[in-house]
Homo-oligomer: A and B are copies of this chain.
Amino acid sequence: MRDTQIKRIIEAALMAADTALGISHLLRLFEPDAEKPTHEQIKKAITVLQEECKDRGIELRRVASGYRYQTCSDVQPWVARLWQEKPPRYSRALLETLSLIIYRQPVARGEIEQVRGVSVSSHIIKTLLEREWIRVIGHKEVPGRPALYGSTKQFLDYFNLQSLHELPDLAELAGTDQFRLDTPAYPELDLPEPEEDSKIHLRVVTDSG
């Protein structure tokens, strides 16, 4: 492979990646190729790319975890205005996915898709994981071993909640009168005060002799 092509690939990869990439990571991009560039060739390409940034609004910097392109600090005042004007917003799909994870946790992606009727993009899950509002708390023992998601302490903190119990019940939300999809599964099971006429009589024997 010619040096120009190696350089083009590395430039595109570093520009598209959302994290810094080390040289070994960049080498892996060529893994399946018959003709792989050497470590030195990659290094050389990076040096050339760095030189090409001269007089440009971006630079190719080396940070702890590898190389990454970033905007030059002197143009930052203008670039920052991109977000002042329009604060970024989350999509409806993300909000729905998050709320289902909160209320149906521990929940697998497939169940969310079933309720929503559309597939859940990996991007949404990634964003929620990155924000640390959800995390993987287990796996289902079915083919594919899907991850089960649950909420985090950071989620509670963000919404200024002490515990999930401060959230309204699903039934309340949907309007109790019309919300009768199914017989209420555990009608009497609202913590902390179970009703007296509870239908379930359960005695847990913790210490049987």
Interface, chain A (partner B; CB < 8 A): 4, 7-13, 15-17, 21, 25, 28-32, 55-58, 69, 71-72, 75-76, 78-79, 81-82, 85, 88, 93, 117-119, 121-123, 126-127, 130
* Residues of B with C-beta under 8 A to A122: 85, 117
* Residues of B with C-beta under 8 A to A56: 8, 11
Contacts A/B (CB < 8 Å), 22 sampled? A4-B55, A7-B57, A8-B57, A11-B58, A12-B72, A12-B75, A12-B76, A12-B78, A12-B79, A13-B57, A13-B78, A13-B82, A25-B85, A29-B79, A32-B81, A85-B122, A88-B119, A93-B130, A117-B123, A117-B126, A118-B127, A118-B130
* Residues of B with C-beta under 8 A to A119: 88, 127
- Copies of this chain in its oligomeric complex: 2
Question: What is the minimal beta-carbon distance from A82 to any residue of chain B, in angstroms?
Answer: 5
Within the assembled complex, what's the spacing in Å between the Cα atoms of A25 and B83?
11
